[in-house]
């Protein structure tokens, strides 16, 4: 700017426009990060659901992540988010030897031929 002349209304409006443009660019970048984060979370959720449905049998873990809560038939709609797929032998062992209860919705004990 020329130091000799005072700022005009037009100069101030142009400055205000640059400020708003800069703030809008920052806000758009922030929203783009939020969108990317949500897309990653959604893809991970879909991957977990797909993995759960692909397994023939599943064991659901408790809130602590260690103690088993239920044995499920793969793809059970009652299975929670802390479920991981297991093989037939591990599902049978969990029901018979480890005393893990069978899910009351999908009844894996009946599907495996084990009755409580």
What pLDDT is stored for residue 50 in this prediction?
Answer: 72
Sheet holding 83-86, edge to edge: 68-73, 57-61, 83-86
| pTM for this prediction | 0.55
Nearest-angstrom CA–CA distance, 47 and 60: 17
Instruction: Output the CA torsion 87→112→116→86 (10° steps).
Output: 10
- Per-residue model confidence (pLDDT) at position 53: 63
pLDDT at 37: 97
Backbone region of residue 95 per phi and psi (left: phi > 0; alpha: psi in -120 to 50; beta: other values):
alpha
pLDDT tens per residue, the chain (116 residues)? 557 889 999 999 999 999 999 999 999 999 999 999 999 999 998 887 776 666 788 899 988 878 899 999 988 888 877 888 888 899 999 989 888 999 999 999 888 888 65
What CA dihedral angle connects 11, 15, 20 and 26, to 10 degrees? 160
| pLDDT score, position 51 | 65
């Amino acid at each position: 700017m020329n130091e000799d002349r005072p700022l005009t209304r037009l100069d101030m409006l142009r400055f205000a426009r640059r400020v708003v443009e800069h703030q809008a660019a920052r806000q758009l970048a922030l929203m783009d990060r939020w969108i990317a984060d949500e897309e990653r979370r959604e893809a991970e959720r879909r991957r977990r659901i797909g993995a759960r449905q692909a397994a023939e049998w599943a064991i659901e873990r408790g809130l602590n992540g260690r103690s088993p809560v239920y044995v499920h038939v793969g793809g059970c709609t009652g299975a929670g988010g802390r479920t991981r797929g297991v093989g037939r032998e591990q599902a049978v062992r969990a029901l018979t030897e480890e005393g893990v209860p069978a899910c009351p919705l999908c009844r894996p004990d009946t599907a495996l031929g084990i009755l409580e």
